[in-house]
Amino acid sequence: MTNSRPLILAHGGAGLRRLTPTQAACLADALVIGYAILEQGGPALIAVECTIGLLEQSGLFNAGRGANRQLDGVQRMDAAIMEGAHLKAGAVASTEGLVHPITAARLVMEDTNHVLLVGPPATRFAQHCQLELLPRARPPRRSSARSARAATQTLRLYRAMLKSKRTRKDRYGTVGAVALDRSGTVAAGASTGGIDSMLPGRVGDSPLIGCGVYADNQSGAVSMTGMGEGIIRLVIAKSICDHLVMGKSPAVAARQVLHMLVSRIRGSAGALVLSPDGRFAIRHVTPHMAAGWWNGAGQPTVRGQFP
């Protein structure tokens, strides 16, 4: 039986904003929680879920309590989780009012035969599983005519913001984690409230297996953050894992795929990359990336920029 040295990595988003001291402390606490599970012989999947869960709970990042609102004022959240031993995965998209979308994703993986649930049915599934909900007032009921007018106004607002370039950038960052447990299994996860200035119903890369997350014991584990539209178009997480299978190191694999993202479509992203032998890399093509790692030695390493 493999006896790997446990390792946990986590991120709080990549973009223009600098990591704050409060966010850094929260990331360090999340790494401690995740590593404690691994140290006790727990599975990488649960370590990833619990690490992300603390970040969702904090309200300091664009996930869970801190999730962005779409242009109709509603918080819609996405999350995915995957383990590398059996390639099991679960995800939710456009869920509303959940504190822990990452747990909803795990329950989709474990309690159903599906990989992805979306929209109100995904929210009802989480409610059925008695997951914690955010307190919020329900929007008033609208007639079909009023709903149509509201949709038109939302679309006009979106177009006006794009035209004037007044869209906000990077209020918080998507959160994610990858882990290696003592058995040699890797896992990856991500949770997000999307991006600023989103049309209602927009879904990014985080809940799409192979785009925002991927985990395979034969290659490695990847958790992405950044502009999801570009990450989706190049299926970045799986592309990085494919490079790992070809024998490239996590650092080289991340650098080459992120370079392709920039050169082909001018995308922007950051990545956590972990191989089954314990090598890892944190890379980004944005000015900043809030991230860190810990292998149980000393104190967790958390920074706002990585080479």
Strand-pair partners of 179:
8, 187
> In this structure, is residue 303 part of a structural domain?
no
Confidence of residue 171 (pLDDT cuts 50, 70, 90): very low
C-alpha closest to that of 52 among 39, 40, 63: 63
Q: Do the domain assignments include residue 73?
A: yes
Question: What pLDDT is recorded for position 137?
Answer: 43
Q: What is the pLDDT of residue 2?
A: 65
Q: How many domains, in total, are found in the chain?
A: 1
The answer as to whether 267 is a domain residue is: no
CA distance 96 to 226: 21
Residue 53, domain member (yes or no): yes
Cβ neighbours of residue 250 under 8 Å, at least 6 residues apart? Answer: 220, 244, 273, 274, 275, 279, 280, 281
With 60 as the cut, is the pLDDT of residue 168 above it?
no
Range of the domain at 116: 7-207+288-297
Q: Give me the chain's average pLDDT, please.
A: 91
- How does pLDDT run across 226-260, given as a tens digit for each residue? 999 999 999 999 999 999 999 999 999 999 999 99
Q: Is the pLDDT of residue 164 over 70?
A: no
Q: pLDDT per residue over 29-86, tens digit each?
A: 999 999 999 999 999 999 999 999 999 999 999 999 999 998 888 999 999 999 999 9
The neighbour count for residue 13, using CB atoms within 10 Å, is 28
Gyration radius of the chain over CA positions: 18
In residues, how long is the chain? 307
Decide if pLDDT at 297 tops 50. yes
Q: Residue 165: its pLDDT value, please?
A: 52
Over residues 302-306, the mean pLDDT reads: 97
In a domain, 253, yes or no: no
Does residue 271 belong to any structural domain of this protein? no
CA distance 30 to 49: 10
Residue 88 within a domain: yes
Catalytic residues: 174
pLDDT band at 195 (very low <50, low <70, confident <90, very high): confident
Cα 6 to Cα 31: distance, rounded to the nearest angstrom: 12
DSSP state of 98: B
Contact 273, 280 (CB under 8 A): yes
- Structural domain includes residue 120: yes
